[in-house]
Every structure is written in C-alpha cells, then in structure tokens.
Structure 1
C-alpha cells in the first residue's frame, strides 16, 4: 500500500490530502473521494482508505478543514463531550459549508486526473461528509458516477444547501446507509430524501442499519460497531464494484 501526500490548490488555498493505492495494482483507472467525518483526516480514515484501495481504487482523502489549519488533533471518542474541544470542532464543522466543499471538489477531481486516475470516480462520505458526497455528485455530473453516504447528517433538512434539494441534478447511483437512531438524520428526513430521489428518478437505495448508532462505521468512533461496519463494507464494495467499471 502506498500513500502519497498531496497539496491541492483550490480557489481558497491549499488542501492537504492523502492518495492511497494498492502496491500490487499495476494501474488504477477508477478513483474514490472519501469525504471525512467531523474529526478530520487521521489514522482511522487512512485505514478505511487503505481498505478501499485494496479493492483496486485510487482513494483520495482530502482535508476539508484546510482553511483553518492547523487544528486538532481530536479524539473521536471524547471531542464532542469535552467542552474545550466541542467548541473548536463545532466551529470547524459549521464554518466549512457545503458550498465550500462543492467548490473544492473540482480541485479534488482534477488532482485525481493529474495522478493518472482517468476512469470513473465515486464518492463516499461519513457523518458531515455524507451530504458532501451527494452534493458533489449533483454538481459534477459528468465526472462522478456512484455516491454513497454512511451516517450522513442533515441530508434532507430545512437548510438551503441540504442535499435533497439537488436531487433533480443527480445522475449517479446513490446509496445511503443510516443508523437506526440518529438525531442528525431522523425518519422524517429519510422519508423526505427518499421522496426527492424518487421524484427525480434517481437510482437509489436507503438502508437502515438497525441497532447501530451514528458513527458506527469509523473504527476510532465511540459508536463503532464491528458487525455493522463489516456490513457497511460489504454494501460499499459491492456498490462500487457495480458502478465503477
């Protein structure tokens, strides 16, 4: 496994990113952008990117918080519990808008192309990254094919930049994995997202992972659930195998 450290020029500055590829792959034509959760790029996300890369993809993990670097690091188990880190994290998340990440995603796609990734591109996001994965697919129609979200928050909220409002622009296949109980994506939002995708004639699946909590996929998260995480990997790898060809 190789990890390249990239510095990606965006309209607002320079974003650091990791690009992961399997050492045994002679070439990688398909790519994936992995949009981080609220705690930023770290070893836990690197391990997830490595697992995806072992499926034959070039996996890019950009720092969405680069405008505020340096920051952290944060402990995913306690950062939202301790007051001093909770305030810092909340400021990072709310200060990094959907529109910022949508703009940045053009540079992320260009960075993959510059590294020889010429095939289809998929997106996957966790927590705050879930909505960004969907919004990227709704914006870069000719470049992003599949888009996946796991425990994504506010996918169909009242906010003007809520991903469900862009459903009519999505041409990619969409997979959404939601936790059984999640205040950031309650049943009414799930129903609203499903209706928006249905009306837009998007090929989609929303799956409820009963018995797990928000954050269950990420190994250093307090809600990590090993069985649920493996189910997520099965679904994600099958989804990309069907769409990134």
Structure 2
C-alpha cells in the first residue's frame, strides 16, 4: 500500500441490500473515484491499485459488486477460470450480477463518496467485467460522473441494450478505453462499433490498443500481468483523471 494512504471498511445501503466496500484516501481528496472490480472480487491486488490511485489525491471507493451472493470465494486469479468448480462459481456470479444491477448500485456508490465529503466531479475506472460497468455508470449518472475508464473490459461494443456502445448517447463524461492487443471479449469489430457510437454521440474519448498485452495485464495477481504494460496503464489513467477531475 502507498505510504500514508488510509484504508477504511464501510458498508453501503443499496436498493437491493448492503454492499461492503473500502475507501482509500491520502490526505485531502480533490475528487472521488469508483473502482469497479474484475471478476475475482475485492482483494489485496485491487486494494493496492486503489491505494496507488488515492496517492494521486483522490478518495477511491472499491465496492463489492457481488454482495448479493456473499459469502463467495476467495478466488485465485491465476487459476479460477482453469479449475471447473471455481469457474462455474465465477460464471454464476458474473451472470447473476447484471449491468442494470450495477448501474442501480452506482447511485449508492456515488452517495457514499459524497458522504466522504466529495462535492466535485466523480471518476470511474473498471477492469475486466468492471470496464463496461464504469462506462455504463457514466451513462446512468451523466451529471455526476465526469470521467470513465475501462481496461481490458469485455463486450463494450455489442448490440446488446446494456452495452456501453448502446448507451453512448447518454454519456457526458470523457471516456478512455485501454484494450488488450488480442482479446476475444473485445475484438476489433466491437472496438470499431464503440468508437462509432461514441463519436456519433459527440463523446470526448480515446480507445487505445495495448499491443502485446493480454486480457488482465494491468492487475498484479493475474497470470498475464505485465509490469511494463501496467505502468503504461498507470500513466494514462492518472493523466486522464488529472486532466478531467483536477
């Protein structure tokens, strides 16, 4: 964890129950950020990322998106989709926690940051399954979320009603998408469809292809973690939030 960055466990009342979450901050926060988890849930690897982001001057909220199904896991990010039992459990958690559910929850996540004293614009960043949820949160709360970033997010450019491409017209935030060089969950045709939808909606956006990176490269406990690629992601993300949130 980044020195002098504090971590506090909280609970958040949502329309569907109570979600556990952690808040990270380093001194006086200039803005708030919601970090939408990947499929393996809140854990030390994500907490380290939240602490690093908080070190740039933000209050960072890491909510448990799977709170409706607790207890679950823990999961090993390196093997969870290889072992049949854990793969089945993860698949059920992901399919059972819909984009619409997370969009509803995001109103409570924003309120939790406001209870932390955040009064200015809010950012969102998501990894893997959290990538689309961060962008859809910006669509659901356009007057609250000013910046949304996705890294190795999947299904961002399908024609499904809950795809970020389908919701582009509702977005007022700036959007950054970092895609893995080869990623079956976000192939080139989806990237093109998302780019077209964002451009037609006049959304300020960047879609960047990280050549040579694999799905999950940003998160340190993934088997495909790439240290150099992760540092590149950090530079892009911190600059993106700095330009947009201050």
TM-score for the superposition, normalised by structure 1: 0.98
Are 1:2 and 2:3 counterparts?
A: no
> Map of 1:19-38 to 2, 5 A cutoff?
19-22=23-26, 25=27, 27-38=28-39
In the TM superposition, residue 171 of structure 1 has moved relative to its aligned partner by 0.6
Counterpart of 2:22 (choices 9, 18, 21) is 18
Is the CA contact (8 Å cut-off) linking 1:29 and 1:120 kept in structure 2?
no
> Partner of 2:112: helix, strand, or coil?
helix
Q: Mark the runs of 5 or more structure 2 residues left unpaired by the alignment.
A: none
Which residue is equivalent to 1:44? 45
Map Cα deviations across residues 79-108 of structure 1 (whole Å, 9 max, x no partner).
Answer: 000001000000000110000000000000
Which residue is equivalent to 2:165? 164
Which residue is equivalent to 2:241? 240
> Map of 1:131-142 to 2, 5 A cutoff?
131-142=132-143
Query: What is the alpha-carbon distance in structure 1 between the residues aligned to residue 111 and residue 18 of structure 2?
Result: 14
Which residue is equivalent to 2:59? 58
In the TM superposition, residue 115 of structure 1 has moved relative to its aligned partner by 1.2
In the TM superposition, residue 221 of structure 1 has moved relative to its aligned partner by 0.6
> Partner of 1:100: helix, strand, or coil?
helix
RMSD: 0.6
Query: What is the alpha-carbon distance in structure 2 between the residues aligned to residue 91 and residue 223 of structure 1?
Result: 23
Query: What is the alpha-carbon distance in structure 1 between the residues aligned to residue 161 and residue 168 of structure 2?
Result: 13
Query: What is the alpha-carbon distance in structure 2 between the residues aligned to residue 11 and residue 138 of structure 1?
Result: 19
Which residue is equivalent to 1:175? 176
In the TM superposition, residue 159 of structure 1 has moved relative to its aligned partner by 2.1
How many residues are matched?
242
Which residue is equivalent to 1:228? 229
> Partner of 1:163: helix, strand, or coil?
coil
Map Cα deviations across residues 22-49 of structure 1 (whole Å, 9 max, x no partner).
Answer: 1xx2x21301000000000000000000
Detail structure 1 runs of 4+ shifted over 2 Å in the superposition.
none
In the TM superposition, residue 156 of structure 1 has moved relative to its aligned partner by 1.0
Map Cα deviations across residues 33-79 of structure 1 (whole Å, 9 max, x no partner).
Answer: 00000000000000000000000000000000000000000000000
Query: What is the alpha-carbon distance in structure 2 between the residues aligned to residue 163 and residue 199 of structure 1?
Result: 13
